[in-house]
Structure 1
């Protein structure tokens, strides 16, 4: 599912940005807070601690999202899940805009590339994060998991990527430039022929920049989001130092 204007043909590249743990640091531990809420949701359904842990891991591994397993096997209300899990995260007190990330996205030459977000979250969470980070005005559209559809797809499934391309009006997979912190998601895009699939493996602030090891199935590995300037140098506006 998507929001934004993605109709018609366009010959420019499309930069696909993952949102969670990519546009903000993993050190915020939002993923941990989310995991705690999902665990609590399993417990609220009457599962024991052991079963909750087991099913959470099983559904995430098998379906890409624990929610999909819950929908397939327990007929839960996805909107209720979203409110109690993603919707209850205290994002406003944790996240803050990063001027370097904003400047990096601003410097993408819009004559050469469009910018979309590609997320396994629902639209409300995606928009909330982009608004807090003050990046919403730089993104043409967001392709997200449509929790209203009981059979929705997600990364790293081919249907998700194919539908994202269709909505964004992309017919040439080589025009897609993608960055994500999840190796399976990046490998899936690469296997589909996306032009550049980059793994973001966050490097802690203060660490010296060093060469990243080669990872099979991806085009590049970066430790800072701003390193996309080097990986995709042809789509960035030249700026004076």
Structure 2
């Protein structure tokens, strides 16, 4: 299961980036992080839009710096849940706001990499940055995964903000 501490370590790394690379105070950092997550669904998108932050640099200093090997363990319950899904009726795809490096690191640690047909992710190397909840991200997912109608898709995520557009 996801180890206790991932969120805390991630939060510290984001705060360090805001403060050391952009010169924000602790208070400004907290306010901007919350505002960007609410407004954009992805903190990095707020940084790219407002401060021209290089997404790949941010990713290398924050997400890629996370010590996932010591924080994430296989999740047998998640694996069992996925294995019980009727593959004749449903196709499973990963749909992430993270960059591909995150997906490639985390999914094997959870022990579920063989249960998905592929991954749809936010490509930090492309401009403009396209992520959830932007309609373009959901259009990409539909094109890649191939369902005929939005009503044929079921999205399960860890938070509601990035999935908001998916209902529209």
**What TM-score results when the alignment is normalised by the length of structure 2?**
0.89
**Which runs of 5 or more structure 2 residues have no equivalent in the other structure?**
none
Which of 172, 179, 190 lines up with 2:156 in the alignment? Answer: 179
RMSD of aligned Cα (Å): 1.8
Tell me the distance in 2 between the aligned counterparts of 1:183 and 1:59. Answer: 15
* Cα distance change, pair 156–29 in 1 and its aligned pair in 2 (3 A): farther
Which of 27, 46, 50 lines up with 1:50 in the alignment? Answer: 27
| Larger strand share, 1 or 2 | 1
1:215-226 correspondence runs (5 A): none
1:203-232 CA distance string (max 9 Å, x none) = xxxxxxxxxxxxxxxxxxxxxxxxxxxxxx
SS in 1 for 2:50: helix
- Note if contact 1:145-1:152 (Cα within 8 Å) is conserved in structure 2: yes
Task: Tell me the matched-pair count.
Answer: 167
Q: Which residue of 2 aligns with 1:69?
A: 46
**What TM-score results when the alignment is normalised by the length of structure 1?**
0.64
* Cα distance change, pair 134–188 in 1 and its aligned pair in 2 (3 A): same
Tell me the distance in 1 between the aligned counterparts of 2:37 and 2:50. Answer: 13
1:56-108 CA distance string (max 9 Å, x none) = 22222221112111112222221111111011111111111122221221222
| 1:29 to 2:5 alignment | yes
* Cα distance change, pair 188–74 in 1 and its aligned pair in 2 (3 A): closer
* Offset at residue 187 of structure 1 (A): 4.4
Q: Which residue of 1 aligns with 2:89?
A: 112
SS in 1 for 2:156: strand
* Cα distance change, pair 78–184 in 1 and its aligned pair in 2 (3 A): closer
- Note if contact 2:41-2:162 (Cα within 8 Å) is conserved in structure 1: no
SS in 2 for 1:87: coil
- Note if contact 2:99-2:123 (Cα within 8 Å) is conserved in structure 1: yes
Tell me the distance in 1 between the aligned counterparts of 2:93 and 2:18. Answer: 33
